């Protein structure tokens, strides 16, 4: 009889399974998919190009312990991510920085705004776009309104199907304006890509004699929950269940479906070594897609062909893949009902982006698994 069941072989599930196995526990890991790594799954196509079919994933973290843990399972390739936004045909770095400022404004005005930003925000520092649109200095306010309107507003509406205001602060608070010429998308201490890809890394995490993998296996078909008791194969389960799938699915959608944003991806091979000047180009307003990613640039693969992916955000239907939780007050309240219900099951632990209904980066997924491991009874 299984002592630990982990549902999901993404980064959350793989990390917790590994920690438990190294502690001498037998762990069974289920995943519906035939592949490992959850949404970070990648494969090498017939031209030798690494493709990430669930969207571009870049590893970056400030957590030394996360970096060290993952380094046991992969070697790394240096990679610093850069993104350009196509604003009315001009390509400018995002997050919006001093180079973007100089590309969008006449020289004298750009110089004046730069000086005020350096004074008010600080040279080399960042401020959220929300702080700047509320700033007491009118020159900063009008600059911030330009950035908000042209770079973020329409992009956010396209991405979420909602105006930034209805997203309740959290999304826009994360959008910075940088008072520097540093055009890297992330400023974290560790920025790199696993040399053999994310799936190979997760495969190594899960390769342990105490871990039993069950792929193409929907755990929900074997699990049911009732009156504080978890049933596994129709018998009460006395072990520990760690669940990284959709929380509503676990509770048979009893309070309804949690809304998500989904993405339709269009992947194309192009007969050219380079398609665009950066790994990612955002289309803030002009196209139905939000961004174009070029995979050879993430992997620093020099080929005579390249692979691009266009992303079309849309409302998530019942058959679509749930990508981004939509953190409105109403949705979070609905999530709260499920989270309260989960508290009735003492041997159930929720982990990861779907079970917690929260956008998390990969490093946070690993960190949360560390925290759970410390607290598991
Ligand atoms: C488009 C996009 C781009 C992203 N880019 C980045 C990035 O650049 N950098 C970064 O750090 N993070 C990025 N992320 C976030 C990253 O994908 C998450 O941090 C990561 O997926 C979290 O891992 P997880 O294990 O919690 O969830 P997932 O990766 O979703 O894994 C959950 C797994 O559970 C399985 N599962 C669910 N239900 C069941 C069931 N009933 N039975 C069996 N198996 C089940 C699923 O099949 C899945 O494999 C991105 C996310 C998206 C959507």
Q: Looking at residue 48, which CATH number applies to its domain?
A: 3.40.50.720
Kindly indicate the confidence band of residue 130, based on its pLDDT and cuts at 50, 70 and 90: confident
Atom of ligand 1 nearest to the CA of 61: 11
Looking at per-residue pLDDT, the higher value among 332 and 154 belongs to 332
Q: Average pLDDT of 197-205?
A: 98
Distance 353 CA to ligand 1 centre (A): 7
Kindly indicate the confidence band of residue 171, based on its pLDDT and cuts at 50, 70 and 90: low
| pLDDT value for 176 | 87
- Within-domain flag for 333: yes
Ligand 1 pocket check: which of 190, 244, 292 to mutate, most ligand atoms within 8 Å of Cβ? 244
Where among 278, 298, 315 does a domain terminate? 315
The tokens for 213 are: 């993998």
Q: Average pLDDT of 205-227?
A: 97
Same domain, 224 and 337: yes
Same domain, 251 and 264: no
369 lines ligand 1 (CB under 6 A): no
pLDDT at 286 over 90: no
Rounded Cα distance between 132 and 145, Å, is 8
The residue contributing the CA closest to ligand 1 atom 53 is 323
Same domain, 165 and 107: yes
- Within-domain flag for 184: no
Burial class (CB in 10 A: 0-12, 13-18, 19+), 12: buried
Residue that the structure tokens 């956010």 belong to? 156
- Within-domain flag for 288: yes
Q: Average pLDDT of 257-286?
A: 95
pLDDT digits (tens, 9 = 90+) for 80-101: 999 999 988 889 999 999 999 9
218-222, 249-253, 286-290, 321-325: the lowest-pLDDT one: 286-290
Atom of ligand 1 nearest to the CA of 323: 53
| Structural domain for 245, as ranges | 4-76+192-259+324-375
Where among 178, 211, 229 does a domain terminate? 178
| pLDDT value for 89 | 84
pLDDT at 274 over 90: yes
Distance 38 CA to ligand 1 centre (A): 5
Atom of ligand 1 nearest to the CA of 11: 25
197 lines ligand 1 (CB under 6 A): no
Same domain, 29 and 102: no
Q: Average pLDDT of 14-39?
A: 98
Kindly indicate the confidence band of residue 106, based on its pLDDT and cuts at 50, 70 and 90: very high
Q: Average pLDDT of 111-124?
A: 96
| pLDDT value for 10 | 98
- Within-domain flag for 183: no
Same domain, 29 and 49: yes
Q: How far is CA 181 from CA 169, 308, 317, 326, in A?
A: 27, 27, 41, 32
Same domain, 120 and 167: yes
Same domain, 97 and 172: yes
Asked if residues 20 and 27 have their Cβ atoms less than 8 Å apart, the reply is: yes
Same domain, 65 and 123: no
Ligand 1 pocket check: which of 8, 59, 359 to mutate, most ligand atoms within 8 Å of Cβ? 8
Looking at per-residue pLDDT, the higher value among 37 and 149 belongs to 37
Where among 269, 298, 315 does a domain terminate? 315
Distance 39 CA to ligand 1 centre (A): 4
Same domain, 95 and 174: yes
Across the chain, mean pLDDT equals: 94
Same domain, 347 and 311: no
Rounded Cα distance between 225 and 338, Å, is 13
| pLDDT value for 206 | 98
Same domain, 92 and 167: yes
360 lines ligand 1 (CB under 6 A): yes
The residue contributing the CA closest to ligand 1 atom 2 is 55
Distance 234 CA to ligand 1 centre (A): 28
- Within-domain flag for 185: no
Ligand 1 pocket check: which of 38, 185, 221 to mutate, most ligand atoms within 8 Å of Cβ? 38
Rounded Cα distance between 70 and 365, Å, is 12
pLDDT at 311 over 70: yes
| pLDDT value for 172 | 67
The residue contributing the CA closest to ligand 1 atom 27 is 10
Q: Average pLDDT of 179-204?
A: 96
| pLDDT value for 169 | 62
| pLDDT value for 155 | 86
| pLDDT value for 151 | 87
pLDDT digits (tens, 9 = 90+) for 49-64: 999 999 999 999 999 9
365 lines ligand 1 (CB under 6 A): yes
For the whole model, what pTM was predicted?
0.94
pLDDT at 8 over 90: yes
User: In 228-305, which ranges are E strands?
Assistant: 229-232, 235-236, 240-243, 260-270, 280-283, 291-294
- Overall number of domains in the chain: 3
- Within-domain flag for 345: yes
Same domain, 107 and 150: yes
222 lines ligand 1 (CB under 6 A): no
How many of the other CB atoms lie within 10 Å of CB of 344? Answer: 12
- Within-domain flag for 186: no
């Amino acid at each position: 009889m299984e002592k630990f069941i982990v549902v999901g072989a993404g980064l959350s599930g793989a990390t917790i399974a590994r920690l438990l196995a190294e502690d001498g526990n037998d762990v069974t890991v289920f995943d519906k998919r035939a592949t490992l790594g959850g949404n970070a799954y990648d494969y090498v196509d017939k031209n030798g190009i690494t493709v990430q079919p669930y969207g571009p994933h870049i590893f970056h973290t400030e957590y030394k312990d996360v970096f060290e843990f993952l380094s046991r399972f992969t070697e790394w390739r240096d990679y610093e991510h850069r993104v350009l936004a196509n604003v009315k045909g001009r390509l400018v770095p995002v997050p919006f920085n001093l180079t973007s400022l100089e590309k969008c404004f006449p020289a004298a005005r750009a110089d004046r705004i730069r000086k005020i930003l350096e004074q008010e925000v600080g040279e080399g520092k960042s401020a959220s776009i929300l702080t700047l649109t509320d700033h007491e200095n009118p020159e900063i306010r009008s600059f911030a309104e330009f950035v908000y309107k042209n770079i973020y507003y329409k992009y956010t509406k396209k991405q979420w199907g909602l105006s930034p205001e209805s997203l309740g602060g959290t999304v826009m608070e994360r959008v910075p304006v940088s008072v520097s010429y540093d055009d890297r998308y992330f400023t974290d201490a560790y920025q790199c890509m696993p040399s053999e890809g994310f799936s190979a890394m997760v495969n190594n995490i899960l390769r342990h004699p105490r871990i039993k993998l069950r792929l193409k296996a929907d755990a929900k078909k074997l699990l049911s929950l009732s009156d504080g008791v978890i049933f596994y194969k129709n018998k009460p389960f006395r072990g520990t269940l760690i669940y990284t799938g959709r929380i509503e699915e676990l509770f048979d959608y009893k309070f309804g479906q949690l809304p998500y944003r989904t993405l339709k991806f269009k992947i194309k091979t192009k007969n050219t070594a380079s398609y665009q000047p950066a790994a990612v180009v955002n289309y803030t307003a002009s196209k139905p897609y939000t961004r174009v990613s070029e995979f050879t640039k993430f992997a620093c693969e020099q080929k005579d062909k390249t692979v691009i992916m266009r992303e079309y955000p849309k409302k998530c239907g019942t058959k679509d893949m749930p990508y981004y939780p939509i953190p409105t007050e109403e949705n979070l309240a609905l999530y709260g009902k499920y989270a309260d219900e989960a508290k009735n099951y003492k041997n159930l632990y929720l982990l990861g982006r779907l079970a917690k209904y929260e956008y998390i980066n990969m490093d946070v997924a690993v960190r949360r698994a560390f925290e759970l491991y410390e607290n598991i009874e």
